[in-house]
Amino acid sequence: MSERAASAWPELPWAPWKETCEAIHLWTQIVGKYRLCHTPWLNHSWHATLYVTPRGLTTGPVPDGDGAVTVDFDFVEHHLEVHAVGGRTARVDLAPMSVADFWARVRAAIQAVGGQPTMHGAPNEVAEPVPFAKDTRPRPYDAPAVERFHRALVHIERVFSHFRTGFIGKVSPAHLFWGSFDLAVTRFSGRRAPPHPGGIPNLPDAVTREAYSHEVSSAGFWPGGNGVEEPMFYSYAYPTPAGFADRPVQPAAAHFHPDLQEFVLPYEAVRTADDPDEALRAFLQSTYEAAADLGQWDRELIECELGQPLVPRPVPGSP
């Protein structure tokens, strides 16, 4: 692949790889649940997420016993690697298989490096979940589509992470929530929010209420599903301020989705823009401003210029 081709935002139609994407969603749940079960709770479930790498997705170091284990999806060579302290490594090839097969192979790989494959055995945030060990239906693995998905994530994570630098209040990393299978970045006003009503399928309400304990403006990307059968960016506020749905946002292809109750922007509109990075930044910034202005956030206190390499933040009040 040429450097120019690798740098282009890839086409990512949902329908042709829907079944593969659904399989990967469940595979990331298995890996994410391993991290969840071994890592002390961090605010808003940030301890459970996965992170984009140049080769795929990673758990980062997971505490396990008196050591640590890292589980990495490699979407370039199409395998999953498990690494432990001391150099122990195990590998699972990514190929057509059932969720039950993947569940068994990942648990065996974690055990092979000395880890304890302790994790909850059923999916979250999906309707009618089937326990992993009983999900024996064959699943396809479309390797070229997975590679395109990964390249898209790399571009999106880069823009999300740069957007994150324009905020000195509390702000999340750009990370992948495997329950809803979306890459997200979230800004916080600093104020407490009213209790969330909960009701997310197969997710304890206590988890949802802790996640939304404070006012947020959150943006993200999902590859398809969730009521919109194409790859899509989204942005919402909790609690939703009055007038949010009517606020003009950018770029022109962005609009408020009445069923989802959030702003959406088709991935294809970003991919085909003259400047995809700028189109996505405009969406992130304008939808954030809608939440912050209408929610009366103290923007002067929590915002700053976008970060630059090797340029420290000026200290407020300094000459």
**309 CB neighbour count, 10 Å cutoff:** 4
User: What pairs with residue 84 in β-bridges?
Assistant: 69
Confidence of residue 2 (pLDDT cuts 50, 70, 90): very low
- For residue 72, give the nearest of 88, 42, 92 by alpha carbon: 92
pLDDT in tens, 231-252: 999 999 999 999 999 999 999 9
Confidence of residue 319 (pLDDT cuts 50, 70, 90): low
pLDDT in tens, 241-300: 999 999 999 999 999 999 999 999 999 999 999 999 999 999 999 999 999 999 999 999
The average confidence (pLDDT) of the chain is 95
pLDDT in tens, 29-72: 999 999 999 999 999 999 999 999 999 999 999 999 999 999 99
* pLDDT greater at residue 101 or residue 226: 101
Q: 3-state DSSP call for residue 185? A: strand
**What is the domain partition of the chain in residue ranges?**
13-134, 144-302
pLDDT in tens, 127-162: 899 999 999 999 999 999 999 999 999 999 999 999
pTM (2 decimals)? 0.95
Predicted pLDDT of residue 5:
47
For 102, residues 6+ apart whose C-beta sits below 8 A from its C-beta are: 23, 26, 27, 30, 92, 132
